[in-house]
Amino acid sequence: MLFDVNPGSVRTEYEILHLMRRLIACFGYSHFMVARLPMAEEQRFAECLVLSNWPAELVRQFDAAAIFPGSPLAERLRRTKLPVTGGVELLQAAERSDGRGVIRQLQPDPEMARHFAVLLHTTSGDPFVAVLSGRREEPAGAERAMIYLALVQVFECLERTFEAGSVIREKLSSREIECLRWAAAGKSSDEIAIILGISAYTVASYFKSATRKLDAVNRMQAIARAMRMKLI
């Protein structure tokens, strides 16, 4: 199996998604996920997630269960630079009570029975985890090395979108970022207007300009892109 990447030809998030779909098809996986490795337990999974084809309901449940920061997967990756492999137990957490209720086990998806995960770092040293999931058995030998190299190549392309996000951050005003952040937290335009002490018309104007700068088609896509770029 051969998976080649020409980093210079990949510039957009859509192209990176296409690359990841090619990668999992090449190596026999069905799902992928790239997320910032959380360094504190209070970080929500949705805030860490960068790229994924996970079912939306699984992302919601995984986020609500607050499993990711203390999962066996995250703990093992913090202690090694080698790939981590395993079954559904990697993305589970033992039931416990932490004052916010019992964190329950998630029902495993039969299409995500086995996982191959690696720890990757940006050039500035920020840790990220890339996970491939599917039914296939654990890769070994040369194939294991090829998968690791392929993920490194794709992540190099993905990091370029982070740099683009930094440019967009400079273009977005502080008010535009505030509006996007409050909207991501579930606030309406009227509520944001009250919080920021401005009119609802002005809030709508900030959303319109932020949507244009993020090259999005609507407010929801602008929020999603801003979150993926770690702007909010």
Domain coordinates of the chain in residue numbers? Answer: 7-160, 172-228
pLDDT tier for residue 101 given thresholds of 50, 70 and 90: very low
Indicate the pLDDT class of residue 102, thresholds 50, 70 and 90: very low
Residue 68 clears pLDDT 60, i.e. is over it? yes
pLDDT > 50? residue 17: yes
pLDDT at 36: 87
- pLDDT value for 160: 79
**pLDDT, mean of residues 177-206:** 89
Token pair belonging to 15: 């192209």
Query: In whole angstroms, how far apart are CA 48 and each of 9, 163, 196?
Result: 26, 17, 26
Q: Which CATH class is domain 7-160?
A: alpha beta
45 pLDDT above the threshold of 50: yes
Q: State residue 164's pLDDT score.
A: 59
pLDDT of residue 8 exceeding 70, the answer is no
Contact between residue 143 and residue 27 where contact means Cβ atoms under 8 Å apart: yes
pLDDT for 29 equals 96
At 129-164, the pLDDT tens digits run 999 999 999 999 999 999 999 999 999 888 877 665
- Residues 57-66: pLDDT tens digits? 888 888 877 7
Per-residue pLDDT at 152: 93
Q: Considering the chain, what is the average pLDDT of its residues?
A: 83
Fold classification of 172-228 is Arc Repressor Mutant, subunit A (1.10.10)
- The answer on pLDDT for 217 being more than 80 is yes
- The larger pLDDT score, comparing residue 42 to residue 75, is at 75
Name which residue leads in pLDDT, 40 or 146.
146
Predicted structure pTM score: 0.68
pLDDT at site 103:
46
Residue 42 — pLDDT band, cuts 50, 70, 90? low
